[in-house]
Structure formats: C-alpha cells, structure tokens
Structure 1
C-alpha cells in the first residue's frame, strides 16, 4: 500500500478549515473511508473531490451529515439509472440496425 496515494486527514482539516469530527462522522456513515497507517488517519486521494463536495454542502448550504448522506445516495442512484439507460439505448440501437 503506497502512502503517496493517501493524504493525512489532519492536513486536510487544516487546509479546508474543518473539524476532524466532521470527517469522522462522514466515515461512520460510510461516505468516505479512512485508512489508519502508523496510527495516523489518511484518506485516499480519489475521495478528495467527494470530500470537497461534502464540505461545500455542509458549509455553504448548511446541510447536516444525514442530508449529505441522502444527497450522495441520490446521486449514486442517478448515476446507476443513467448507466442503465445508456445500456438500454445501446441494446435498442442493435435491434434498430437489423
């Protein structure tokens, strides 16, 4: 496991001016995954964009943790439905070309 792909949570909290408890709460409900390496908490760099969106929802729109969970669950369902729609469109094109 390369630690280069992980960012220290304390660093993120100071950069984004958020409490560690906010990140812990996001981890508890499963929105982000925290990795513990050498007794330090890290987050994978692939999750940073989602974390930034969650921070903006919380600070700019005053959405609580449960609301953020709902928003991200709905976004995931929307992505799944969009993928399913594209798959069905592709299958339909197969039959239209015959």
Structure 2
C-alpha cells in the first residue's frame, strides 16, 4: 500500500474531533470507502473531501446518517446533470 495515497482513520478522526465509530458507520452504510490493511483502517485521499463534507453536515447541521445519504445522492445527481449540460453545450457549440 502506498502511504502517500492514504490517511489512517484514527489520525483523521483525531484531527477532526470525531469518533472512529462514526467513520465505521459511514462505511457500513456505503457512504464512504475504508481500506483495511494489517488491522489498520485507512481513507483514500480522494475520499477526504467527501468525508469532510459529511462530517460538516453531521456536526454543523446535525443531520443524521439517513439524511446524509439522501443529500449525498442528490448532490451526485446534480453533479451528473451539470456534466451532462456541459456536454450538451459543447455539442451545441460544435454544430453552431
């Protein structure tokens, strides 16, 4: 495992003031991916923005895991739609 692509879950939790159990719950509900190697759990660096967003939703807005799941799904749909709009605009520009 390449160390520069991962952060240990324990270190992330300490730096964000959350429990490791919360990360386990996020993983169990399928909201994030946790990599386990040699009895140590890691988060991939490319997952960090998503995990930090989830932590803010939970802590700052007091949203439960079910609500976070719904919000996450809606945000992913919006992002897909934005990408589709960009692609359609590019095609339109090509034909104009």
Q: What root-mean-square deviation, in Å, do the aligned CA atoms of Structure 1 and Structure 2 show?
A: 1.0
Q: 1:71 corresponds to which residue? A: 71
Structure 1: stretches of 5+ with no match in the other structure = none
- How far 1:4 moved relative to its partner? 2.2
Structure 2: distance between partners of 1:90 and 1:23: 40
Q: 1:43 corresponds to which residue? A: 43
Instruction: Indicate yes or no: 2:80 matched with 1:53.
Output: no
Deviations 1:1-28 (A, max 9, x none): 3122111111111111111111011111
Q: 1:2 corresponds to which residue? A: 2
Structure 2: distance between partners of 1:30 and 1:40: 19
Structure 2: stretches of 5+ with no match in the other structure = none
- How far 1:43 moved relative to its partner? 0.5
Q: Across the two proteins, how many residue pairs are aligned to each other? A: 96
Query: TM-score, normalized by length of structure 1?
Result: 0.91
Structure of greater Rg = 1
Query: TM-score, normalized by length of structure 2?
Result: 0.93
Q: 1:23 corresponds to which residue? A: 23
